[in-house]
Amino acid sequence: MCLPEPPLDGWLLRPAEVLRFGVCTVLSAVTVPFLLHPLHERWRDEDRAARRGGSGEVRPSRRSNGALLIKGGLLFLVYLVTGAFYLLSWSTYALEGIQVRTPLGTRTYTYDQVTQLLVIPPGYRDGPSKPGPEFAMELDDGRWAYFGLHSEGAEVEDLEAIARMVSRESGLEWKLNPRASRSP
């Protein structure tokens, strides 16, 4: 949709699938207030009828309706920002270097700017839910660039090819990430 064509001599990776899951989760939380809006309208009509009839039973529907709309509006704003970040973010790995694109801007790095390479190999994991392979590159400005099975559309063969190219072009070797532990 918003993605450019991948470079001929490289790969184009999307952000983590976790981000897409987060967008779907927030979307479901956002829709609840809008789905409940007709129910609150009905409650408000019942409250008006109760006031006219003098039954004394009045629910605070106006306050709850306003609170739900504010909450829903804020969650919808979070959804829009997260969705825009997902749609407008990607990384390219090519012979010319690494380009990291986000809505906040594009950063381009040469392989001379890579200072450290860490890997979590297959059979290892980083925490309870992140199995390897997972690759991390520290850059000279203190930022990190990541790619692994979490990258959307990435196959193990592609990840290994990217890792070989990064190692060859940077002149560095991949080291075992200190956070890596053997999978059970």
What per-residue confidence (pLDDT) applies to 21? 61
SS3 41: helix
Instruction: Give the Cα-Cα-Cα angle 170, 166, 5 (nearest 5 degrees).
Output: 130
What per-residue confidence (pLDDT) applies to 25? 65
Of 54, 87, 120, the residue at which a domain comes to its end is 87
Q: Are residues 120 and 82 in the same domain?
A: no
Q: Are residues 122 and 176 in the same domain?
A: yes
Assigned domain for 167 exists: yes
Would you put residue 56 in left (φ > 0), alpha (ψ -120 to 50) or beta? left
What per-residue confidence (pLDDT) applies to 111? 94
What per-residue confidence (pLDDT) applies to 166? 94
Would you say residue 169 has pLDDT above 70?
Answer: yes
Per the structure, how many domains does the chain have? Answer: 2
- What pLDDT, in 10s, does the model give residues 135-167? 889 999 998 888 888 787 778 888 899 999 999
What per-residue confidence (pLDDT) applies to 131? 66
Over residues 107-118, the mean pLDDT reads 94
Closest CA to 97 of 162, 160, 184: 162
Q: What is the mean pLDDT of the chain?
A: 78
**Distance of CA 172 to CAs 35, 122, 165, Å?**
55, 20, 11
CB 166 within 8 A of CB 118: no
Q: Which domain holds residue 118?
A: 111-182
What per-residue confidence (pLDDT) applies to 173? 94
Assigned domain for 150 exists: yes
Would you say residue 55 has pLDDT above 60?
Answer: no
Q: Are residues 157 and 121 in the same domain?
A: yes
Assigned domain for 147 exists: yes
**Per-residue DSSP letter, 7:** P
The most confident of 8-12, 56-60, 81-85, 161-165, by mean pLDDT: 161-165
Percent residues over pLDDT 70 in the chain: 73
Q: Are residues 74 and 115 in the same domain?
A: no
Q: Are residues 176 and 120 in the same domain?
A: yes
Q: Are residues 131 and 169 in the same domain?
A: yes
Q: Are residues 75 and 128 in the same domain?
A: no
Over residues 78-107, the mean pLDDT reads 84
